[in-house]
């Protein structure tokens, strides 16, 4: 085949044949299709979209570009969760142990943060000794011993996606819903889990800003999972305000441990339990309720074993930033707005996030929110505490917070769980 013919077909609104898709993905992975040619094809897909069969075939081709993991040796069913990313989204940390404590196995391949959105691996790496890189054999061993593992994806998993993701990032084609959906689902299907629950975030701190776009993405991913024989459910959840009170790395680990100890912010507990119930139902596991696993200490027991199995010390003190700065409420009333993007950008500028994938992050940096939207505040009371290793970072972080919070007489809040798609 010829790259130009494939590009022209999609440019002119045609439906790509399975053979064209298989060849294009394979040829690009092998370097036969040049970067500028794949850039043109990605832009044509962004502008003209893809049919459901096209998206399914594109996803399948990316899966076949690498290895596929197999957990059939485990004695319990597998289930996983994927979040599209947000601010304060620490849910994987209490969720995986809670689900494992209820009888399922959770093989979670996670990523790192970029920009204002945090990364699960960055959070966990604030625990002394914990390591993200595990071989397939090590993952299986940890799953057998603890029921849950959270680690980085290996280089052999969907290499076509890794290459295309980097290209989309620099060619203005990140927003293509077919390419977003196939990117996420190719890795999750190759991961080998038996069931999948998607947490599609909606709001200023999320990639999808509107419910309509989030629903389209969720429906596309659920269709891909269904077409590949993977039991898939999606929840649309609010990301117009930060999730929980802590935004950063070590501070989010500390908050997750509070949830595992039976406490923690109500929204983090609600979303953890809701997603856990969906994961267990999708995996066909009935019996213990995840809310009970958080209360009776069984989820905490799994957490401690899981962290230890990956070299971490669950009892070690977490890193703390050297400097703090407190933002106080300018007036009394109801906190009507606490913008997720503004808080996330502030945490990023404090050192908790990165601008490029190779940048380091500060484990101790971040933001603690002392009030949530809908709560009453008094003039002069602490509203936010900024944490940084270097006090010179506070000025830029405060710029990110300009207009990010408002105090009024009342507050109209979007529900945490917006919709369910199956």
Asked if 82 is an active-site residue, the reply is yes
Asked if 325 is an active-site residue, the reply is no
Burial letters 317-335, b for 16+ CB under 10 A, else e: ebbebebebebebeeebbb
Which residue in 168, 305, 387, 393 is the catalytic one?
Answer: 168
Q: Please, what is the Cα angle at 76 between 60 and 135, to 5 degrees?
A: 60
Separation between Cα atoms, residue 43 and residue 32, nearest integer Å: 19
Phi and psi at residue 246, in whole multiples of 5°? -105, 135
Q: Looking at residue 169, what is its pLDDT?
A: 80
- By the 10 Å C-beta count (0-12 exposed, 13-18 middle, 19+ buried), 105 is classed as buried
Asked if 90 is an active-site residue, the reply is no
Which residue in 182, 183, 186, 204 is the catalytic one?
Answer: 183
Separation between Cα atoms, residue 106 and residue 197, nearest integer Å: 12
Q: Looking at residue 129, what is its pLDDT?
A: 98
Separation between Cα atoms, residue 257 and residue 172, nearest integer Å: 39
Asked if 60 is an active-site residue, the reply is no
Q: Mind listing the domains of the chain with CATH numbers?
A: 3-49 (1.20.970.10), 80-154+162-309 (3.40.1030.10), 323-408 (3.90.1170.30)
- Looking at 151-265, list the stretches that DSSP marks H as alpha helix, in order from N- to C-terminal side: 159-169, 177-190, 211-227, 250-260
What pTM, to 2 d.p., does this model score? 0.94
Which residue in 60, 161, 240, 267 is the catalytic one?
Answer: 161
The tokens for 8 are: 């022209």
Separation between Cα atoms, residue 298 and residue 314, nearest integer Å: 15
Q: Looking at residue 265, what is its pLDDT?
A: 98
DSSP state of 318: P
Asked if 122 is an active-site residue, the reply is no
Burial letters 374-394, b for 16+ CB under 10 A, else e: eeebeeeeebbbbbbbeeebb
DSSP state of 348: I
Which residue in 116, 187, 188, 215 is the catalytic one?
Answer: 187
DSSP state of 105: B
Separation between Cα atoms, residue 401 and residue 303, nearest integer Å: 34
> In the block, which residue shows the tokens 């394979």?
26
The tokens for 241 are: 């305000």
Q: Looking at residue 154, what is its pLDDT?
A: 84
Q: From first to last of the 422 residues of the chain, give the pLDDT tens digit.
A: 899 999 999 999 999 999 999 999 999 999 999 999 999 999 999 999 999 999 999 999 999 999 999 999 999 999 999 999 999 999 999 999 999 999 999 999 998 887 788 899 999 999 999 999 999 999 999 999 999 999 998 888 899 998 998 898 889 898 899 999 999 999 999 999 999 999 999 999 999 999 999 999 999 999 999 999 999 999 999 999 999 999 999 999 999 999 999 999 999 999 999 999 999 999 999 989 999 999 999 999 999 999 999 999 999 999 999 999 999 999 999 999 999 999 999 999 999 988 777 788 999 999 999 999 999 999 999 999 999 999 999 999 999 999 999 999 999 999 999 999 99
């Amino acid at each position: 085949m010829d790259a130009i013919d494939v590009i022209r077909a999609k440019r002119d609104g045609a439906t790509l044949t399975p053979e064209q898709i298989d060849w294009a993905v394979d040829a690009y992975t092998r370097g036969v299709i040049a970067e500028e040619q794949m850039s043109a094809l990605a832009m044509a897909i962004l502008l003209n979209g893809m049919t459901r069969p096209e998206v399914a075939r594109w996803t399948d081709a990316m899966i076949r570009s690498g290895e596929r993991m197999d957990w059939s040796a485990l004695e319990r069913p597998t289930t996983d969760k994927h979040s599209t990313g947000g601010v304060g989204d620490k849910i994987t940390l209490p969720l995986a142990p809670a689900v494992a404590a209820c009888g399922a196995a959770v093989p979670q391949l996670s990523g790192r943060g970029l920009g204002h959105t945090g990364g699960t691996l960055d959070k966990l790496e604030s625990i002394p000794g914990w390591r993200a890189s595990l071989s397939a054999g090590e993952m299986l061993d940890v799953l057998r011993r603890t029921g849950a593992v959270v680690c980085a994806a290996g280089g052999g998993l969907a290499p076509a996606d890794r290459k295309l993701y980097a290209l989309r990032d620099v060619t203005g084609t990140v927003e293509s819903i077919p390419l977003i959906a196939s990117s996420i689902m190719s890795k999750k299907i190759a991961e080998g889990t038996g069931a999948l629950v998607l947490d599609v975030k909606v709001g200023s701190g999320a990639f999808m800003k509107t419910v309509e776009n989030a629903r389209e993405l969720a429906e596309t991913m659920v269709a891909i999972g269904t077409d590949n024989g993977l039991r898939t459910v999606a929840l649309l959840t609010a990301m117009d305000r930060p999730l929980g009170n802590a935004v950063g790395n070590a501070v989010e680990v500390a908050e997750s441990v509070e949830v595992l100890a039976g406490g923690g912010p109500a929204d983090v507990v609600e979303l953890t339990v809701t997603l856990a119930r969906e994961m267990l139902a999708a995996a066909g596991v009935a019996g213990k309720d995840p809310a009970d696993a958080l209360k009776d200490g069984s989820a905490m027991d799994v957490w401690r074993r899981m962290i230890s199995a990956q070299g971490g010390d669950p009892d070690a003190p977490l890193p703390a930033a050297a400097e703090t700065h407190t933002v106080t409420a300018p007036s009394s009333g109801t906190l009507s707005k606490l913008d997720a993007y503004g808080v996330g950008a502030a945490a990023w500028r404090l050192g908790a996030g990165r601008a490029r994938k190779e940048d380091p992050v500060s484990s101790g940096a971040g933001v603690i929110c002392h009030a949530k939207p809908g709560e009453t505040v008094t003039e002069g009371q602490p509203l936010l505490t900024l944490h940084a290793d270097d006090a010179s970072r506070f000025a830029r972080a405060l710029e990110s917070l300009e207009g990010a919070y408002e105090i009024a007489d009342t507050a109209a809040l979007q529900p945490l769980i917006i919709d369910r798609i199956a």
